[in-house]
Chains A and B, each alone.
Chain A
């Protein structure tokens, strides 16, 4: 698997960010996403950037890995910036490219939006980088608990999520294996006209579906054999627990919000 795209990729570690309760991380990110849109001054952006970069350093995941992993996103960020540069017409004219006038408001607006984008993606990818998919589903199941009152199938939803997350790497391995086998039989996935390449997908997809269905059947059988009967009365091996460090992080985040509101204009 040579993909450099890191969103959704978990990197094991033992930093404090890794060990936080997943509910804490998700709550904080939920509020972070909201407060990013409150920032409107240099100071308030500064507060958010410091918070995001600090969290990033604390995870102890190699920086170059995160930077490289965000490569596909850099493009989007730069694109947003340039778009704002040309579309916003506020403030004074700074310079002209051909017939396009670039306004000072455009530069500021472009920076602000690109920065929001960057912060959002950085912080949310920190969640998936430091939290296993299983922890995330556990947290979701726990946080959606109140919905059970209105007969919402919370447990089933969480189970479906964790099963699909669990099988993403398996299916990727399978895809790689089958594509290698078909490449050995002369399929060319990488070059040639689009029409030929689209056709080359069939020998990849058919075996993949066949094995996915077979896997699903096997899994269902294995679950039943081990007495699975839905979420009723089921206890957890890894119960989620709020620790001191979680409370500490909540307080820290409250300070960040306070600082942000203070520096806002």
Chain B
């Protein structure tokens, strides 16, 4: 589904002494099937932005278009439930939304609300549980007996079981151990490729954005600060520093390398192996290869 923001403003607690502008004249377009990373410092409006995508909030001004659904201040789509079934949102710390007696019931909660029939739900659960790295032994257990990382996986399975077209991920790996982070991000990425999803990843991790996204939007104080392909955005060190963001380690490394050896290795999202090869060539004094 294509997603378009057109001059969107969002003001919290409008007409009160606490009024606060969270989104300020934001416009962008996300074509269907792309993997977009949204990056910004704390309080830059990332979380507010994603709540516009499935109508949890509607813009105070401007319009949001998600596929055929149009959201403006005065016009909410009538079939809000359908919109929500097609946009899967994994919130920050999604394990806080678990409530059922068993893991199975909790995963089935979303699809049941969206009127998927019981047989189909069973089938989906058995398909998704191994994908998120759990085994079917977990299904009859209480979600509250699991470890934090396992609860996170159950919550993610609950969102995926709805089979959304757009996947919205709000820092899905925050607080997980490094290996768990890698596994989860890898799972989202392969799902994105296989099912041709449109994925929106809100993250603090430049590394993840660089690795998975094909488009990056940088937010600052509710407005768009930068936008483009990751390899174009992430080399602009000064501009990123100005909004308290760092460049990914690979780029920092290449930068330092250039300083020491007076020999640039342009970053084109090459793999670590390729970078090692280029370095060898420079060190051996044979940059042409």
Contacts and interface: CB of A to CB of B under 8 A. Distances in A.
A211 B97 contact: no
Interface residues on A, range: 20 to 34
B17 A184 contact: no
B158 A185 contact: yes
A207 B51 CA distance: 20
A182 B56 CA distance: 11
Given A62-B17, A180-B56, A185 B162 contact: yes
Interface string A188-219: 10000000000000110011001100000000
Nearest to B16: A65
Contacts of B56: 180, 183-184
A99 interface: no
Contacts of B84: 183-186
B97 A187 contact: no
Contact of A178 (B13, B16, B97, B113): B97
A180 B51 contact: yes
Contact of B110 (A174, A180, A186): A186
Nearest to B88: A184
Contacts, number: 65
A245 interface: no
Nearest to B158: A185
B109 A184 contact: no
Interface in A1-22: 1-2, 4, 11
A210 B101 CA distance: 13
A186 B97 CA distance: 13
A143 B215 CA distance: 61
Contacts of A203: 97, 99, 109
Contacts of B89: 181, 184
B158 A207 contact: no
A181 B99 contact: no
